[in-house]
Amino acid sequence: MDIFKKHTCDRCGTKFRRVEVLMQHLQVIHGKGLFYECKPCNAKFDGMEQMRDHLKKFHSYNKRGISEKKRT
């Protein structure tokens, strides 16, 4: 069902459930030279693993979404 697929490729219209899968699709299907962007802070990364590490370190990242970490 497409109602669960909320991330759409702006190049071909294919829809995905997770933004990570959309980013993989963009790199594999539509070419190299794309980057991963952290939505909360706009940091850019060459690879998904780098972005995931950033999300875990600077933002509360889990499979349900992202929320800002409380800094004490």
Domain coordinates of the chain in residue numbers?
1-31, 35-72
Nearest alpha-carbon partner for 20 in 39, 44, 40, 36:
36
Domain spanning 1-31, CATH architecture: 2-Layer Sandwich (3.30)
- 25's CB contacts (< 8 A; 6+ apart) are 9, 14, 16
pLDDT at 36: 80
- Name which residue leads in pLDDT, 64 or 46: 46
Give pLDDT, residue 65: 55
User: Does the structure show a pLDDT above 60 at 67?
Assistant: no
Residues with Cβ within 8 Å of 59's Cβ and at least 6 positions away in sequence, in order, are 38, 40, 41, 66, 67, 68, 69
Q: Is the pTM of this model over 0.85?
A: no
